[in-house]
């Protein structure tokens, strides 16, 4: 109320799965996602104050957020990826994994190019490669496939599947209906309609907020 967050989440427990947030444009999905990321700090996002409101449980220590409009830094792709690995050294980023993902996303020809000159799709692939190459507990993804063509969306889905297989947790804001077919692949996932959070199917045991 009065530009302050009206929820206070302590010891948030998320099962290892993919949570897809669907909702109309302007409903607040991106603000919600940024709030989850910055909620453990003294931050103000889109005029809403998040003051250490969110405390994930001990199984979620490291969180990475990929914005719908990733940052364009005056760095080469190579230096950015190396810098990200060093910045998140506590996340145990794996150089071998990074190299594999660079090849999967076809980024090797772009390594010497500046982030500033990349297309929207190329920039998304760079930031997603950085995120997937770090051993994080929770990925927050805002419209990750919006700038990706079908081929790169398929690569993204494979990387996402591998992340989930290894016990990862993902909260993803999206309008992309192609991501719904994770159900047919047998992956543990939930579809949440934002902002009502009334699921399209029962998910009682799939998301818990332990206060």
DSSP string, 11-28: EEEE-SSEEEEE--TTSS
DSSP 8: -
Give residue for tokens 């449980």: 57
pLDDT in tens, 157-209: 999 988 888 888 898 988 888 887 765 444 455 555 555 443 333 332 233 22
CA 25 and chain centroid, separation:
18
pTM comes to 0.75
More confident call, 192 vs 134: 134
Q: At residue 44, does pLDDT exceed 50?
A: yes
Nearest by Cα to 68 from 21, 109, 117, 136: 21
In angstroms, rounded to a whole number, what is the distance separating the alpha carbons of residues 195 and 197?
6
- Output the pLDDT for position 13: 59
């Amino acid at each position: 109320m009065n530009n302050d967050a009206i929820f206070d989440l302590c010891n948030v427990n998320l099962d290892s799965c993919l949570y897809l947030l669907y909702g109309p444009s302007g409903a607040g999905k991106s603000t919600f996602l940024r709030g989850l990321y910055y909620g453990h700090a003294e931050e103000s996002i889109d005029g809403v104050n998040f003051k250490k409101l969110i405390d994930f449980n001990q199984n979620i220590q490291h969180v990475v957020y990929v914005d719908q409009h990733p940052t364009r830094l005056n760095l080469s792709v190579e230096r950015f990826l190396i810098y990200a690995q060093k910045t998140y050294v506590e996340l145990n980023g794996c150089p071998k994994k990074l190299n594999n993902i660079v090849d999967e996303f076809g980024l090797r020809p772009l390594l010497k190019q500046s982030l500033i000159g990349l297309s929207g799709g190329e920039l998304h692939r760079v930031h997603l490669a950085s995120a997937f190459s770090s051993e994080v507990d929770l990925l927050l993804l805002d419209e990750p496939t919006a700038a990706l063509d079908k081929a790169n969306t398929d690569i993204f889905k494979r990387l996402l599947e591998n992340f989930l297989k290894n016990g990862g947790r993902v909260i993803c804001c999206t309008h992309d209906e192609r991501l719904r077919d994770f159900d047919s692949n047998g992956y543990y996932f939930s579809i949440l309609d934002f902002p009502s959070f009334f699921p399209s199917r029962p998910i009682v045991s799939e998301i818990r907020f332990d206060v």
